[in-house]
Amino acid sequence: MNDIQTRRQEYRLLFKQNVAKRLFVDKIVRIIVFSCVIIAIIPLGSILVEVFKNGITAISIEFLTETPGSIGSGEGGIGPAIQGTLIIIGLSSLIGVPIGVMSGIFLSEYGDNKLAKSIRFFNDVFMEFPSIILGIFAFLIIVLVLGHFSVWAGAFALSLIMFPIVARTTEESLKMVPMTYREAGTALGLKKWIITFRIVISAAKSGMITGILLSVSRIGGETAPLIMTILGSSQFFSSMDTPMDALPLRIWRLSLLPYDSAQLQGWGAALVLIMIILGINLGVRYYFSNKKNLFFGKFIKQRRNTIK
């Protein structure tokens, strides 16, 4: 056996040892990651099981549609709270989502300056604000000025919680789009805003939707800002300038009552809130999954028609 063959055998042995070591490390990392996922899922799963087990017995048509009965009677339902939750989530999204999305676009596509750095810093600080502080802020500038609790104040407070989350996720989603997309658009002679709104946003759509749904889930469970703004009511929605009920407020009030029937209704309201948030998430994802390449597809179709 000559020297060349000996070296080849040595190289093969070193290669096998190196590959075996990497495969072993890969298995260890996989086990650690899988264990962390299980640890994270167990508390979430136990909460869902507990809420479903205790809340399903309270669910009925009357419970979902009627106004609350007298305290401790176990009669009535959470109809006004369900209606109020849907109204407050929709109105907050109308205010918070456009502001958050446009802020994220600015920070990602036009954010290489001092102004953007300042906005990014205050946006990060804003995300860490306790929700009760934002509720007090809305109380001071809207409720005290108008002289009454209102739906506007609640939507404003929740939109303040919403838009920093949407802005951050939008910025990060747009940054993940490869630069070659922008370069290809520039090479075609497209203006920057067309590249941003027709190509980059289309490519980052999934991440942006995830951020919006996360913010909806966050505001759907907020209670403290609503205490300071919409206060709560036992009647269905009548106008934007009157107090209104919402599921987090109803759950909080029912949990404070020392009656088994009230506790049972609280579990039922919690289950309904989870189902509403889950329904919004699944509905939005299903809609956009069936509208794949909505904007980019139209853009390509228009360009093809132009070329023809």
For residue 122, the model assigns a pLDDT of 86
> Which tens digit of pLDDT belongs to each residue from 49-84?
999 999 999 999 999 999 998 887 778 899 999 999
State the pLDDT at residue 289: 78
292: amino acid identity, one letter: K
Q: Give the DSSP letter string of the chain.
A: --HHHHHHHHHHHHHHHHHHHHHHHHHHHHHHHHHHHHHHHHHHHHHHHHHHHHHGGG--HHHHHSPB-STTS--B--HHHHHHHHHHHHHHHHHHHHHHHHHHHHHHHS--SHHHHHHHHHHHHHHTS-HHHHHHHHIIIIIHHHTS--HHHHHHHHHHHHHHHHHHHHHHHHHTS-HHHHHHHHHTT--HHHIIIIIIHHHTHHHHHHHHHHHHHHHHT--HHHHHHTB--SS----TTS-B--HHHHHHHHHHS--HHHHHHHHHHHHHHHHHHHHHHHHHHHHHHHTTTHHHHHHHHHHHHHH-
pLDDT at 267: 94
* pLDDT tens, the chain, 308 aa long: 567 888 888 888 888 888 888 999 999 999 999 999 999 999 989 999 999 999 999 999 999 999 998 887 778 899 999 999 999 999 999 999 999 999 999 999 988 888 888 888 888 888 888 899 999 999 999 999 999 999 999 999 999 999 999 999 999 999 999 999 999 989 988 888 899 988 999 899 888 998 999 999 889 989 999 999 999 999 999 899 999 999 999 999 999 998 988 999 999 999 999 999 999 988 888 887 776 555 455 555 555 555 55
Q: What is the pLDDT of residue 30?
A: 95
Measured CA to CA, the distance from residue 272 to residue 102 in angstroms comes to: 32
* Partners of 231 in beta bridges: 244
User: What is the pLDDT at residue 1?
Assistant: 57
pLDDT of residue 271: 94
